[in-house]
Amino acid sequence: MNFFRLTETDCFETVPRRDGVFSPRPRPTGGLRKLSFWLLLAAGLIFQTGIRAQSGPTVAGPDGSAAEFKEAGWKLLAEVERETKQYRLPANRIQAQTIVADLMWTRDEEAARAIFRSAFGELQGLFAGLETPAGDESSTAEKARMYDERYRLAVLRREFLLTLAARDSRTALDALAALKAPLTDENDPLATDELELELTAAIAKKDPDTSYTVARKKLDADGITYQFVESLKSLHRKDSKLAASLGRDLLDKIRTVKIRVPAAETGGANPVPANNKTEIEFLQLTSFLSAAVELNRTAEKDKTRKTAPLLSGSEMKELAELTAGAFLAERSPAQYAISEVLGHIARFAPALAQQIRRKLGPEWSRQLDKMAESNRFLEASREKTPDELAKIADVSAPDVRDFRLSYAVSRALEENDPEKAQAIAARIGDRKNYAYLFEQIQTALPLAKARRGDLQEVRRMLAGLKTDGERIAALTELASAMVGKDDRVTARALLDEALQLLPPLKNRTALENTVKIAVVYSAAAPDRAFELVENSLGPLNDFIGAGVRMDEFDEGGAVESDELLFTAMNKPLLMYVPNFFELFKNLARADFERAVRLAEKFDRPEIRQFARLRLAQAVLDENAAETERRMRDELVSDGETD
């Protein structure tokens, strides 16, 4: 596939909905991915600084004062706010204004509201200009283009409303009512069901009464949906007592509706959609039962006893009995439908579980037992250590033993313990199919030793590394460890050695290695980091310019009206620059004005504005780390990390 050109088959990917139906959504375009590479590395190179720098003395700002540092951030934000009007694309103005308004709220609520109103007006304009596919006469490509437009508008609306809801929940709900459009079909991304429930969860802590009222109205109006069950999970994390009230409301509703169990002869499909007000799909019911078990388990683990269970013990028993009874009442139920909850039914209604087993027969019962045992392992593994996982694997059946050992190895690697991973991996029998794990271990070992500051061991291992890139990675990790030990002299010497291995900045590998060195230089010797970055900006601007021209030529989708989309600038930052808000802030503390000047050295104005906005956000957002984690989690959950 051409990485820049959009074709009809490239426009969509099929993703499973919660009801099991596969629906289309626009694929991230190849042009945006390729162009984004240079944007992400430019951002990373300009703004990265070592996390270990925080172990040293804090440099507060222009005059050493934390207050002055903050004031410099407010001044920059005021400039950035004026710059938001310079974006050509309404979508870029909306996203920038939403961030600025949120940051400004605590400083000047009146001004922040005015900025939110401006963004709201821009959104209304986009909704007013929406095109609707002309039925079957529209080509596949035309439908794809319109779907993509609606998808991007839905993302914009969601980001705006959730940000506003954190500040003023009632205004956000009013805004949602004004930001709706006629739907083209059941898969239209501008449908509001899920968003309304998401807003309900978002405002729960600040305005629980409004949150409950909205959710209850949704239940009465739309009945039981997959989205409602999923929203209960989000709501439980924010306000467990409110979620428990809604959980009981949902159980009350289940008592009064018809439960539609999928039949084996239809392949498990119900030919007619359920009437959500009077019926509930069996898989929705099992989804609720599984969610209740999960949330009750969360409450049990809360040592403070502040987390309320979703349902009481007697209510859980009743829910299990309703589920089992519906399955048993169906003459020929689809066997898979009970697979995920048979274990839960056995716990709360054991006699009914035995009846289900007799109905299924011995072969299906054995298969379900195997599936249930596998599910229990995966659930338990979330809280197990690598050693505990390995012990479970050692006593598991031969056909799953290697898989479970590999799970333990992966957990050890996630915890940056390749030595433990190596010891566990030695027990894997099928080396061929798990060769990738052994490769990961060999790559991670020298870096782990470097992180511990094992200077002699790393020196010994350097000779065995195959490429200059591997040597640069080991040297920079070791230098970072030295910074953590406040030995900046040794750290700088190691970085100088790594710098000698660095080739001219002509390709991706050279740029990645430049970033690695600059990261630790900014903690060990900030002036040296600034020099390295400044010397790299010329080639970076050339690469970005070439990427933009290629994207425009191939109609890749990253550029509209000669302006890069905000997404093209933001997504790669989330994907490839970890802890970037922390990093931006640290570099600004080292030399605020110089960091700002670096952001201004991009050739393209929208990148300059974007970089300045993120720098101001890093300085002013007290919850920047949580903001970044949430944005990255959403990117992953939306499947947009390709």
**Sequence-ordered list of residues with C-beta below 8 angstroms from that of 325, at least 6 positions apart, any chain:** 352
More confident residue, 632 or 93: 93
Where are the chain's structural domains?
Answer: 1-86+500-642, 87-191, 222-383
285-300 b/e (C-beta count within 10 Å ≥ 16 → b): bbbbbbbbbebbebbe
**Sequence-ordered list of residues with C-beta below 8 angstroms from that of 567, at least 6 positions apart, any chain:** 32, 152
Whether 39 has a pLDDT exceeding 60, the answer reads no
User: In which band, very low, low, confident or very high, does the pLDDT at 14 lie, cut at 50, 70 and 90?
Assistant: very low
Query: Cα torsion for 271, 276, 280, 285, to the nearest 10°?
Result: 120
The predicted pLDDT at position 20 comes to 36
pLDDT tens, position by position, 144-169: 888 888 999 999 999 999 999 999 98
pLDDT tens, position by position, 563-581: 989 888 877 667 666 567 7
Check if the beta carbon of residue 572 is closer than 8 Å to that of residue 580. Answer: no
| Distance in angstroms (rounded) separating the CA atoms of residues 257 and 223 | 10
Give me 28's structure tokens: 């991230």
Query: Cα torsion for 293, 299, 301, 305, to the nearest 10°?
Result: -160
Whether 406 has a pLDDT exceeding 90, the answer reads yes
Average pLDDT of span 408-423: 91
| Distance in angstroms (rounded) separating the CA atoms of residues 280 and 283 | 8
559 strand-pairing partners:
564
- Is residue 298 within a helix (H) or strand (E), and if so which, with residue range? helix 282-301
The predicted pLDDT at position 213 comes to 86
384-389-390 Cα angle (round to 5): 150
560 strand-pairing partners:
563
24 strand-pairing partners:
14
| Distance in angstroms (rounded) separating the CA atoms of residues 383 and 386 | 10
Contacts by residues 364-372 (CB-CB < 8 Å, ≥ 24 positions apart): 364/335, 368/335, 368/338, 368/339, 368/342, 371/339, 372/339, 372/342, 372/343
**Sequence-ordered list of residues with C-beta below 8 angstroms from that of 326, at least 6 positions apart, any chain:** 259, 261, 282, 285
The predicted pLDDT at position 15 comes to 36
Whether 13 has a pLDDT exceeding 60, the answer reads no
Give the CA distances from residue 113 to residues 154, 392, 529, in Å, rounded to whole numbers and listed in that order: 22, 56, 39
628-640 b/e (C-beta count within 10 Å ≥ 16 → b): beebbeeeeeeeb
**Sequence-ordered list of residues with C-beta below 8 angstroms from that of 317, at least 6 positions apart, any chain:** 348, 349
More confident residue, 583 or 342: 342
Give me 112's structure tokens: 């922040």
Whether 226 has a pLDDT exceeding 50, the answer reads yes
- Is residue 15 within a helix (H) or strand (E), and if so which, with residue range? strand 12-16
Average pLDDT of span 13-41: 42
The predicted pLDDT at position 286 comes to 93
Query: What are the E-state strand segments in 229-353?
Result: 258-260, 279-281
Whether 519 has a pLDDT exceeding 90, the answer reads no
Average pLDDT of span 513-525: 81
Dihedral sign computed on CA atoms, order 358, 360, 361, 366: negative
Whether 52 has a pLDDT exceeding 90, the answer reads no
User: In which band, very low, low, confident or very high, does the pLDDT at 59 lie, cut at 50, 70 and 90?
Assistant: very low
| Distance in angstroms (rounded) separating the CA atoms of residues 174 and 6 | 37
pLDDT tens, position by position, 451-498: 777 777 777 777 777 888 888 888 888 888 888 888 889 889 999 999
Whether 231 has a pLDDT exceeding 70, the answer reads yes
Cβ count within 10 A of residue 343: 19
Closest CA to 252 of 294, 216, 291, 293: 216
Cβ count within 10 A of residue 540: 23
The predicted pLDDT at position 271 comes to 60
User: In which band, very low, low, confident or very high, does the pLDDT at 106 lie, cut at 50, 70 and 90?
Assistant: very high
| Distance in angstroms (rounded) separating the CA atoms of residues 305 and 313 | 16
Give me 559's structure tokens: 């550029």
Whether 641 has a pLDDT exceeding 80, the answer reads no
Dihedral sign computed on CA atoms, order 314, 320, 326, 330: negative
Mean pLDDT score across all residues of the chain: 82
The predicted pLDDT at position 121 comes to 97
Give me 450's structure tokens: 């470097």
Share above pLDDT 70 across residues of the chain, in percent, rounded to a whole number: 85
Whether 135 has a pLDDT exceeding 70, the answer reads no
Average pLDDT of span 229-254: 88
Distance of CA 570 to the CA centre of its chain: 13
Whether 174 has a pLDDT exceeding 60, the answer reads yes
Give me 352's structure tokens: 């009914």
Q: What is the CA radius of gyration of the chain?
A: 28
User: In which band, very low, low, confident or very high, does the pLDDT at 358 lie, cut at 50, 70 and 90?
Assistant: very high
Pairing verdict, β 559-560 and 563-564: antiparallel
| Distance in angstroms (rounded) separating the CA atoms of residues 247 and 253 | 10
639: left (phi over 0), alpha (psi -120 to 50) or beta: left
| Distance in angstroms (rounded) separating the CA atoms of residues 48 and 583 | 5
Whether 278 has a pLDDT exceeding 60, the answer reads yes
Check if the beta carbon of residue 288 is closer than 8 Å to that of residue 319. Answer: yes
User: In which band, very low, low, confident or very high, does the pLDDT at 268 lie, cut at 50, 70 and 90?
Assistant: low
| Distance in angstroms (rounded) separating the CA atoms of residues 326 and 337 | 11
Whether 355 has a pLDDT exceeding 80, the answer reads yes
The predicted pLDDT at position 50 comes to 37
The predicted pLDDT at position 95 comes to 95
- Is residue 259 within a helix (H) or strand (E), and if so which, with residue range? strand 258-260
Average pLDDT of span 422-443: 90
Check if the beta carbon of residue 71 is closer than 8 Å to that of residue 504. Answer: no
pLDDT tens, position by position, 596-610: 998 888 899 999 999
Average pLDDT of span 409-422: 91
